Structure 1
Amino acid sequence: MPVVRSRARVNERNDMLDLPLFVREEALCAQVDPDLWFEVNDDLMKEAVSICHQCPVMAECRQFSIDHRVYYGVWGGMTGPQRRRKYRIREEDDETFDQVA
């Protein structure tokens, strides 16, 4: 399984290149070791989230990660598990909306 995790991290890092240029230029994460954003250590993950909460483009980054269903790493002040929970809620909301419509 470590190979899959490594491949996933590479793919997530490549996703960062898809962020709009203005977001990448202003993002605080660009000034820090990229490995910090894909940490599994809780203390380091909290450090990454803390940096995000000070970032001027946190909202844009978070929305990008949600729109593109980025499952790994810290994006927009949210961890992977937090985003996955949000996706489930969003999918359930979509199903409920479809049933009502």
Structure 2
Amino acid sequence: MSLPTMPPALAQDWRQLHDLIDEVAVRRPIPCRESQVLHPDAWTSENAEDLAEAAAQCWRCPAVDACRTFGLTHLGEVGVLGGLTPNERRRTVREREAS
């Protein structure tokens, strides 16, 4: 898989996340890659209901913690990451910064 054009720090983190997902996908299904329940675009939809449904699927994923860390580190990324929608990720970061 070739990397899309992105800043070097983002590209490195993206590659690490995708390598982890590739590794665990051999043993367990990865919902965003293999969902039989949702359309693949649900994870990056602009529809709040689609995003909520996709986020609910993430909790079965063995890479959810690494994916959530990636999403919280790179708030500009679109879609569900680590079981959190973009709004939830921004709120989580704001709450962490406030405490």
TM-score under structure 1 normalisation?
0.62
Q: What is the identity percentage for the equivalent residue pairs of Structure 1 and Structure 2?
A: 33
User: Which residue of structure 2 lines up, in the alignment, with residue 87 of structure 1?
Assistant: 93
Number of paired residues?
A: 82
Question: Displacement of 1:70 after TM fit?
Answer: 4.0
Structure 2 residues not aligned, in runs of 5+: none
| Moved segments of 4+, more than 6 Å | none
Larger Rg: 1
Residues 1:21 and 2:19 are matched in the alignment? yes
Q: Distance in 1 between matches of 2:56 and 2:97?
A: 28
Amino acid in the other structure paired with 2:32: C
Amino acid in the other structure paired with 1:22: L
TM-score under structure 2 normalisation?
0.63
Backbone CA RMSD of aligned residues:
2.8
Partners of 1:71 and 1:81 within 8 A in 2: no
Amino acid in the other structure paired with 2:83: G
1:1-101 map, 5 Å: 17-18=14-15, 19-25=17-23, 26=25, 27-32=30-35, 33-93=39-99
Partners of 1:62 and 1:75 within 8 A in 2: yes
CA offset digits 1:41-80 (Å, max 9, x no partner): 2332222012112112111110111123345211111110
Structure 1 residues not aligned, in runs of 5+: 1-9, 94-101
